[in-house]
């Protein structure tokens, strides 16, 4: 067997299985692990107190993914509408920020949004005298941060189907009397749904488990599921509960990724049918 496979088995598969097992053990009195089977940790995840955090995280992840999809689709559509020879360069510059460090990209928003930041100064400069609402350490700041970090991903996933779109199909629609808007809504959009679905699912999955952005831009004002997991392992020292939380998180993520794979497969099947018909 390849040494790489052994490496992955020892340092990925075994640790992940360990987490699954850990979720069913009891927490010791002094924070250790007691090796008695229990379903308490899993039940605690669905306790309203914690389940609320799950719903909140899903809400923020959904909102971020939604905004990222609208912006990303618009950008991808605009890039695909430019002359062919300019498209690779535009795409390159759309993805370039994605290549820089995640912490740095998040920090850039602290620079913009903090009380002495550029946006506040800009407002003062324009002549706004009143008290400005705090922008950093809010839910909105977290959503902005997530959208900013993952937008290039959506641009890429939406550009792929848009650039493959046969322009003759939209021309036919226009020739048959459909308006530009109707053509977009009834022809272009349905054919590019798989790209949007991929973008949405990935942003959602990356956001719901995120703990860096809520910690930095949310400033501990509220918790997302990633922060809760983090706390169980590094401060509260309740590893079994942390493991149970991550288990549910993984289940949600896997479910979504599989749904997305199904959408992609169905779309591929549809194209084949069109090709045969």
Partner 1 sequence: MAERNTFRLMLLILGVVFAFLYIPISVLVGLSFNEGGLPTAWTGFSFKWYGALLENDDILGAAANTVVVAICSTILSTFLGTFLAVGVEIRRRNGKWLETVIFAPMIIPDIVLAIALLSFFSLLGAKMGLHTIIVSHVVFNLAFVCAVVRARLKSFDWSIVEASADLGASTITTLYRVMVPVLTPAIVAGALLAFTLSVDEFIIAFFTAGAGRSSITLPMQIYAMIRFGVTPEINALASIVMTVSVICLALSQRLNKGGLSG
262 is a contact residue toward partner 1 (CB under 8 A): no
Nearer to partner 1 by C-beta: 38 or 114? 114
141 is a contact residue toward partner 1 (CB under 8 A): no
Phi, psi of 53 (to 5 degrees): -65, -35
Sequence-distant (≥ 6) Cβ neighbours of residue 144 within 8 angstroms: 109, 113, 217
Interface with partner 1 by CB under 8 A: which range of 37-45, 210-218, 260-268, 269-277? Answer: 210-218
Task: Report the alpha-carbon distance of residue 198 to residue 208 in Å, rounded.
Answer: 16
Chain residues 154-193 in contact with partner 1, contact rule CB under 8 A: 155, 180
- Burial class (CB within 10 angstroms; exposed 0-12, middle 13-18, buried 19+) of 107: middle
64, 239, 241, 260: which one contacts partner 1 (CB under 8 A)? 239
Within a 10 A sphere around the Cβ of 260, how many other Cβ atoms?
A: 19
> What is the size of the binding site for partner 1 (CB under 8 A)?
74
53, 160, 212, 263: which one contacts partner 1 (CB under 8 A)? 212
Chain residues 240-259 in contact with partner 1, contact rule CB under 8 A: 242-243, 246, 249-250, 253, 257
- Burial class (CB within 10 angstroms; exposed 0-12, middle 13-18, buried 19+) of 59: middle
- Strand-pair partners of 34: 26
Chain residues 11-30 in contact with partner 1, contact rule CB under 8 A: 11-16, 18-19, 22
Shortest separation between residue 229's beta carbon and partner 1, angstroms:
6
Find the helix or strand (DSSP H, E) in which 269 lies: helix 239-276
63, 143, 152, 156: which one contacts partner 1 (CB under 8 A)? 152
Shortest separation between residue 75's beta carbon and partner 1, angstroms:
4
| Coil/strand/helix, residue 36 | strand
Beta strand 33-37 pairing with 25-27: antiparallel
233 is a contact residue toward partner 1 (CB under 8 A): yes
Nearer to partner 1 by C-beta: 175 or 273? 175
Shortest separation between residue 204's beta carbon and partner 1, angstroms:
12
143, 158, 197, 229: which one contacts partner 1 (CB under 8 A)? 229
Chain residues 64-123 in contact with partner 1, contact rule CB under 8 A: 71, 74-75, 77-79, 81-82, 90, 93-94, 96-97, 99-112, 114, 116-118, 121
Cα–Cα distance list, 33 to 37, 238, 262 (Å): 11, 8, 39
Nearer to partner 1 by C-beta: 16 or 169? 16
24, 54, 137, 148: which one contacts partner 1 (CB under 8 A)? 148
Interface with partner 1 by CB under 8 A: which range of 35-43, 50-58, 161-169, 228-236? Answer: 228-236
Residue 42 contacts residue 244 (beta carbons within 8 Å): yes
Shortest separation between residue 274's beta carbon and partner 1, angstroms:
26
Find the helix or strand (DSSP H, E) in which 35 lies: strand 33-37
Residue 73 contacts residue 154 (beta carbons within 8 Å): yes
């Amino acid at each position: 067997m390849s040494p790489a496979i052994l490496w992955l088995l020892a340092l990925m598969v075994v640790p992940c299985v360990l987490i699954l097992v850990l979720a069913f053990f009891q927490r010791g009195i002094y924070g250790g692990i007691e090796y008695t089977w229990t379903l308490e940790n899993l039940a605690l995840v669905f306790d309203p107190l914690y389940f609320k955090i799950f719903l909140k995280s899903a809400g923020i992840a959904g909102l971020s993914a939604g905004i990222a999809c609208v912006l990303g689709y618009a950008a991808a559509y605009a890039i695909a509408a430019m002359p062919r020879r300019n498209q690779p360069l535009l795409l390159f510059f759309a993805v370039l920020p994605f290549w820089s460090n995640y912490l740095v990209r998040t920090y850039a928003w602290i620079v913009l949004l903090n009380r002495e930041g550029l946006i506040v100064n800009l407002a003062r400069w324009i002549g706004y005298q009143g008290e400005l609402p705090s922008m950093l350490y809010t839910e909105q700041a977290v959503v902005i941060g997530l959208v900013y970090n993952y937008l290039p991903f959506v641009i890429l996933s939406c550009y792929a189907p848009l650039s493959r779109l046969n322009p003759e199909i939209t021309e036919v629609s226009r020739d048959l009397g459909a308006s530009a808007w109707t053509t977009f809504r009834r022809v272009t959009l349905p054919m590019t749904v798989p790209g949007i679905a991929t973008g949405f699912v990935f942003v959602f999955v990356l956001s719901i488990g995120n703990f860096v952005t809520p910690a930095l831009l949310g400033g501990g004002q509220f918790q997302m599921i990633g922060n809760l997991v983090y706390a169980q392992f590094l401060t509260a020292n309740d590893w079994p509960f942390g493991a149970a939380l991550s288990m549910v998180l993984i289940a949600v993520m896997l479910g979504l990724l599989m749904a997305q794979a199904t959408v992609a497969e169905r779309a591929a099947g549809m194209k084949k049918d069109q090709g045969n018909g």
